[in-house]
Amino acid sequence: MENGNLNQGEGKDPSAFLSEIIGNAVTVKLNSGVVYRGELQSIDGYMNLALEKCEEYVDGVKKRSYGDAFVRGNNVMYISAD
């Protein structure tokens, strides 16, 4: 916090952030290094998530496109809003 103003990302609960980005484009990186990009449809308390219009990238190269994808939360390294 600088001069009483919140900096970007400061003071936000992660679950509130995730609730706000449902329906938006996200990038999800797994512990294996595989990256999924798609539209976040749902997420639960274990970080299990459902993506629509999903694409899979391995080493930065697009490998597959999926209509829907479900990712188990313990595989997720991070989720980024695009």
Reported as a single tens digit per residue, the pLDDT across 40-64 is 999 998 999 999 999 999 999 999 9
pLDDT above 50 for 20: yes
Predicted confidence at residue 13, as pLDDT, reads: 76
Can you give the pLDDT at residue 52? 97
Q: Are 82 and 24 in contact (CB under 8 A)?
A: yes
Q: Rounded CA gap, 12 and 8, in Å?
A: 9
H-only helix segments in the chain: 14-20
Domain boundaries, the chain: 22-81
9-18, 34-43, 61-70: which range is least confident on average? 9-18
4 pLDDT higher than 90: no
Q: Domain 22-81 classified CATH 3.40.50.10260?
A: no
